[in-house]
Structure 1
Amino acid sequence: MEKVVVVGIDISKDAIHACLKESVGDAGSRIRGTRKFLNSYIGFTELLYWVSQRSREASSVCYVMEATGSYYENLAYFLYENRLKVSVVLANNIKYYAKSQNLKTKTDKVDASLIADFGLSQKPALWQPMSSGYRQLRDLCRERICLKQARSRAKCQLDAMHHSHDKLACILHIKEEQIALYEKLLLEIEEEIQEKVASDAELSRKVAQIQEVKGLGLLTILTVLCETNGFLLFGNIRQVVSYAGLDVKMSESGHYKGRTRISKQGNTRIRSCLYMPALSAVRSNEPIKNLHLRICERNPHARKKALLQPCENSYVNRHPLSGKGNKSLPASIYT
């Protein structure tokens, strides 16, 4: 019988807690060792040596870890570059798996063991890193969003200061300089984004095709493409919609009929950047405009809800560029 080994890894800023488990057929799993390592290159090499000493007879070794902020990235890329199997799992999946196992204790060591169990029983998909170009553009787009939010806060603060009594002129000047700095940085980061797009012929082609759709600007398109890695990791449209948190969440039991809403359990940056394109599509795209009117007729008191289908259409209409088709969810689920 083939012996499968899974290394469950719980990662924090400074440390890595690893638990190595092997499958033992119908009997379940057996712990072969647990150990703590530094979250650094030295710790990574020590982890590889420690695992190799305990998995010599294994037919397959897979490293499973949580997507803990950005702390997991260096280890994931290190393992991938060494041609090892890596799975990165959402923290929510581990959380609900722990509940299903009725696990009440929470420590780093217990979490590593739990992640190893999850890897053995659920067999998560292998992790694929984002391409270098998309990753750089994603970081630039995210920083641009942060700068826009900071500028909006500063403008609101300045407006409040202008309406306050006897505010010092130096404070107003500081706030105005702060806003000017944000605007300068936004211009610089947008120029950097445009330069990177122009240097990539394939990406420029994709962007040009999508820009034929009315209401979709360059930065909106890039945000969606970068956050989804060009849609390369999705097998169907439903996965794409779920990733953005636009999938429908229903609440019904017996005679109880709860409200139907989107789950919002997904990428918030995608949802936020799609709102204005959805408004534009409702005005300028005739099929989407008619669809929006039909949904509003059925839901006269929930006009904002009617924007969900245009929002989804603006999102999934980018998906054909990855060669996966262009099938959208039925509009009836939003009504």
Structure 2
Amino acid sequence: MDTIYVGIDVSKDRLDVHVRPGGEAFAVERNGKGLEDLVDRLRGLSPSLIAVEATGGFETIVAAAVAGAGLPLAVVNPAQVRHFAQAIGKRAKTDPIDAGVIAHFAEAVKPEPRPMPEETAVLLAELVGRRRQIIEMLVAERQREKHASNVRVRKSLARHIAVLEKELPSIDRDIDGLVRGAPVWREKEDLLISVPGIKNTLARIFLAEAPELGNLDRRRIASLAGVAPYTRQSGRWRGKAMIGGGRTALRSALFIAALTASRHNPVLKAFYARLLAAGKPKKVALIAVARKLLTIINAMLRDNRKWQNA
């Protein structure tokens, strides 16, 4: 049986793939669905090595998806590939031809594959963090635009808002590609979005901000999110139990999910109503919903099971 080598040429919107020695070639879009299809096809080939050329950052999402699927990956130096192309007489340059050259390079040189799980997790956290920054800047700039009276200032703000609005979908595509292209994260996201009240954006914040979900007990995960109550006490004096600390972005996302769940999730809506009927203040009841929701999704990821209303 032939040893399989795969070359992937990465551009902004698509991926060209070439398989050696059979010569099979195909292309997929550089988005979540395309990466999902790519990983599925590569798994079917059982390649010995997959080579991706470093192309100024475009390759990062692709490499993360391939490595995250447990496939043998090497990110190769583009200068070495160009020199190799010259050595074998490949002067024509198109994306499909480049993919063929990269596959040939992988077959001939056999660069050492390397895992990327930690880099992948860092990348997701950075992308989600950047998305949060862009949204915060958009909110701030729109508020400034409302109150600006000078025409030149308003035009400057409008230009900056337009740039930010254009950048946000690009970041979203990268996050989608990273999560949907990595089977482990795709499975976790599918579990999370099965919960009424949690959509893709919140699920990805949970994955980025709390990779420990499913691996900690309920007390430790509540403490990590900053929703574990702590008692204030000095001598005979006892203050009210409070929450605090934890990861700010995670806690904010959790409260957004809890607010939605308290209105639309049958189980948590009923839980919230019981607390209010028992005389709990709305804020205290919402904190309890957030803590219960976190405990549930932590158990779901631990047990690899979807949401159940019963």
TM above 0.5, yes or no, is yes
CA distance in 1, matches of 2:303, 2:242: 27
RMSD: 2.3
Percent same amino acid among aligned pairs?
21
Deviation at 1:311, TM superposition (A): 1.1
Query: Per the alignment, do residues 252 and 195 of structure 1 end up closer, same or farther by CA in structure 2, a change over 3 Å counting?
Result: same
Q: SS of 2:189's equivalent? A: helix
Contact 1:243–1:267 under 8 Å retained in 2: yes
In the alignment, is residue 236 of structure 1 matched against residue 217 of structure 2? Answer: yes
CA offsets, 1:89-123, max 9 Å, x none? xxxxxxxxxxxxxxxxxxxxxxxxxxxxxxxxxxx
More strand by share: 1
CA distance in 1, matches of 2:189, 2:130: 20
CA distance in 1, matches of 2:230, 2:304: 24
In the alignment, is residue 290 of structure 1 matched against residue 277 of structure 2? Answer: no
Deviation at 1:323, TM superposition (A): 2.7
CA distance in 2, matches of 1:265, 1:325: 28
Contact 2:258–2:289 under 8 Å retained in 1: yes
- Identify which of 247, 251, 256 aligns with 2:232: 251
Deviation at 1:198, TM superposition (A): 2.0
CA offsets, 1:246-283, max 9 Å, x none? 11011244553312211x21100101111221111111
Contact 2:188–2:301 under 8 Å retained in 1: no
Deviation at 1:143, TM superposition (A): 0.7
- Identify which of 173, 189, 204 aligns with 2:186: 204
Contact 1:278–1:311 under 8 Å retained in 2: yes
Q: SS of 1:248's equivalent? A: coil
Unpaired runs of 5+ residues, structure 1, are 1-128, 162-166, 327-335
Contact 1:236–1:324 under 8 Å retained in 2: no
CA offsets, 1:184-229, max 9 Å, x none? 1111100110111121122112111221111111121111122222
- Match runs of 1:150-229 below 5 Å: 150-161=137-148, 167-229=149-211
CA distance in 2, matches of 1:289, 1:134: 33
CA distance in 1, matches of 2:180, 2:134: 23
CA distance in 1, matches of 2:157, 2:132: 20
- Match runs of 1:66-215 below 5 Å: 131-161=118-148, 167-215=149-197
In the alignment, is residue 268 of structure 1 matched against residue 248 of structure 2? Answer: yes
CA distance in 2, matches of 1:283, 1:321: 21
Aligned partner of 1:62 in structure 2 is none
Contact 2:263–2:269 under 8 Å retained in 1: yes
CA distance in 2, matches of 1:294, 1:320: 23
Q: TM-score, normalised by structure 1?
A: 0.52
CA distance in 2, matches of 1:272, 1:259: 22
Q: TM-score, normalised by structure 2?
A: 0.56
Choose between structure 1 and 2 for higher RCO, CA contacts under 8 A separated by at least 6 residues. Answer: 2
Contact 1:230–1:322 under 8 Å retained in 2: no
Contact 1:241–1:247 under 8 Å retained in 2: yes
